[in-house]
Copies of this chain bind each other. A is one copy, B any other.
Amino acid sequence: MAVTIKDIAKEAGVSVSAVSLVLNNRPCRISEEKRKQIREIAQRHHYAPNQAARSLVTKESRMLAFILPDIENVFFSSLAKRIEDCCRREGYMLLIANSNDQYEQDKVLLRNISARGVDGIFIIVSNESYRYKSKLIQELQNLPIPYVMVDRVYEQFVCDKVLYDNEQGAYLAVQHLQENGHTRIGCVVNTASNNGRLRLQGYKRALKEKGIKFDPRYVAQGDYHFESGYQAAQELLKTDITAAFVSNDMMAMGFLKKLYECGLTVPQQFSLVGYDNSLSPFILGVDLTSVAQDPQRLGEEACQLLFTRLKDSQAPAKMVCLPPQLIVRNSVGKME
């Protein structure tokens, strides 16, 4: 039978409330020695507080939730793992929920998860939720608990948020191709996504700085999945491009597959830069140059924001914009 807080109190010779205060790390006048003894007894008996009952008292569940758009995307699953590690270190459990990149799911998950009494929420909103911006902002503002927007944020909306600078990341990628002599540079981008639109802006800025006219024939749509990168390559390889900036690594893999099928070698005959720096170990023979958005860093910043907010609900909202980093490998070659 499971041990109760009463059993522990009895064994330690203290009151039930003393045990509760110690196990919940609350300030109290109990000697360090006694505290140690209480914790030791609890541990020995594998004492687990009834969470529902516990949260009625402490108003804390020690559970956080992370709503994300696509659990199968390596960048997001890796980020989830980093956030979870960070939460565990602070004594929080993390629940993960997949919105399937749908606004309706963002809404339903926010409502239902907060109603289950978690202490706070990390959210990467669906791309659809950029179309329902004011509605989703309403949902966020109605939340009875703290939240942090991660990776995909509403620029004008004031709340705790952390993201990588997407415009700058794309700019670095294209600039690197230009520095290697490329002028006809393809771009595979997902303009259905806000971050995708920002990456397209970065691409355009790099062109503009070199006085190169933007050519829409060099831009192909993708949806961040492997197959769309393959399709985009099919389309763009009909033009005279010598290089491409592909705005995530999953699509870059698809693009590479097409290059491989066409017998084009990288970087001898074609140069390529990806985004996310998430797949490099998986690619054989090609070491993909890619824009790194370290999930570790993003996860830690997100946790820091939420932990701070949990301690002080009145602190001013904070926005953290992280600089992406170009990781140069061998997938970009010099144009003669």
- Chain A interface (Cβ < 8 Å from any Cβ of B): 2, 48, 50-52, 61-63, 65, 70-72, 74, 77-78, 80-81, 84-85, 88, 93-98, 100, 108-109, 111-113, 115-118, 142, 226-227, 253-254, 256-257, 260, 279, 281-286
Contacts and interface: CB of A to CB of B under 8 A. Distances in A.
Contact of A95 (B48, B72, B96, B100): B96
Contacts of A63: 112, 116
Contact of A65 (B62, B95, B279, B286): B95
Contacts of A109: 93
Contacts of A62: 112
A19 to B, nearest CB: 18
A95 B93 contact: no
A111 B284 CA distance: 43
A109 B51 CA distance: 11
Given A108-B93, A112-B63, A142-B2, A81 B77 contact: no
A94 B84 contact: no
A199 B208 CA distance: 57
23 contacts: A2-B142, A52-B116, A63-B116, A71-B80, A71-B81, A72-B74, A72-B77, A72-B78, A77-B77, A84-B100, A85-B100, A94-B98, A95-B95, A96-B98, A116-B116, A253-B281, A253-B284, A256-B284, A257-B281, A260-B285, A283-B284, A284-B286, A285-B285
Highest count of chain B CB atoms <10 Å: which of A51, A111, A112, A279: A112
Given A77-B72, A95-B97, A98-B94, A115 B50 contact: yes
A51 B2 contact: no
A334 to B, nearest CB: 23
A54 to B, nearest CB: 8
